[in-house]
Amino acid sequence: MSDAPELIALGDAQKRLGVSHTTMARLVREGRFTLYRNPLDGRQKLIDAQELDEFLQPERVTERRVRPDNRVRLRRSNELLIILREAERTGPSAPFVVTRDMVVHPGLLNGGLATGEDIFNRLVSEGHVRVLTGIIHRVGPNVGREFTITERGREEAERLTPGRRGTPPPPQE
């Protein structure tokens, strides 16, 4: 008898689901449940309790993404702003080019800096960095958008720079 399904009355299933009689009838019509007739009372309809449990399992809609703490993101964007300001001082005429992999600028150490696009987007949204509209720049095999530091960004970088002017920025994580 272990192969026989555990059957429960349709009314009990309706209560477990917490739905109205009309909704339960619609679910049955749609074929969500297999109906069985009660052998002792032919008027009573039964459904498999396991089918009901499977129906009640939540369906995953999206994947959970772990986002870094806002303080960490803010600190990283502040550090990046200071680094970009220092790079701009050494190569003021060149724009920053943001590719898929890095930020490229002749004034940056090794010509580029690996950073997340979300950090750079934060600087843009806060008005510290401005998109050079419509310009797509090719850097080696990479293609990226050009940006420049705004006056507000320069002032913020100066304010954030530890110590006196000209002090090298803290290392980026």
Q: In angstroms, what CA-CA distances link 104 with 22, 79, 119, 143, 164?
A: 63, 16, 15, 11, 27
Q: How many CB atoms lie within 10 A of CB 80?
A: 23
- Residue 167 pLDDT grade (very low, low, confident, very high; cuts 50, 70, 90): very low
% of the chain exceeding 90 in pLDDT: 13
Average of per-residue pLDDT across 149-156: 87
User: Do 26 and 107 share a domain, yes or no?
Assistant: no
User: Do 89 and 133 share a domain, yes or no?
Assistant: yes
User: Do 44 and 81 share a domain, yes or no?
Assistant: no
Residue-number span of the structural domain to which 86 is assigned = 70-160
- Residue 114 pLDDT grade (very low, low, confident, very high; cuts 50, 70, 90): confident
For residue 65, tell me if it sits in a domain.
no
143 residue type, one letter: V
For residue 169, tell me if it sits in a domain.
no
Average of per-residue pLDDT across 71-97: 81
For residue 61, tell me if it sits in a domain.
no
Side-chain half-sphere CA neighbours of 160 within 13 A = 22
User: Do 25 and 83 share a domain, yes or no?
Assistant: no
Q: Report whether pLDDT(133) > 80.
A: no
pLDDT for position 23: 92
What predicted TM-score, i.e. pTM, was given to this entire model?
A: 0.47
pLDDT per position as a tens digit, 8-43: 999 999 999 999 999 999 988 888 888 899 888 888
For residue 78, tell me if it sits in a domain.
yes
Q: Quote the CA–CA distance of 74 and 59 in Å, as a whole number.
A: 35
User: Do 77 and 141 share a domain, yes or no?
Assistant: yes
Write the DSSP assignment of 5-51 as a string of letters. Answer: --EEEHHHHHHHHT--HHHHHHHHHTTSS-EEE-SS-TT-EEEEHHH
For residue 32, tell me if it sits in a domain.
yes
The two tokens of residue 166 are: 């000209």
The total domain count for the chain is 2
pLDDT for position 42: 86
For residue 121, tell me if it sits in a domain.
yes
pLDDT for position 64: 66
For residue 140, tell me if it sits in a domain.
yes
Q: Walk across the sheet containing 142-149 and list its strands.
A: 112-113, 103-104, 96-98, 142-149, 129-139
CATH number at residue 97: 1.10.10
For residue 173, tell me if it sits in a domain.
no
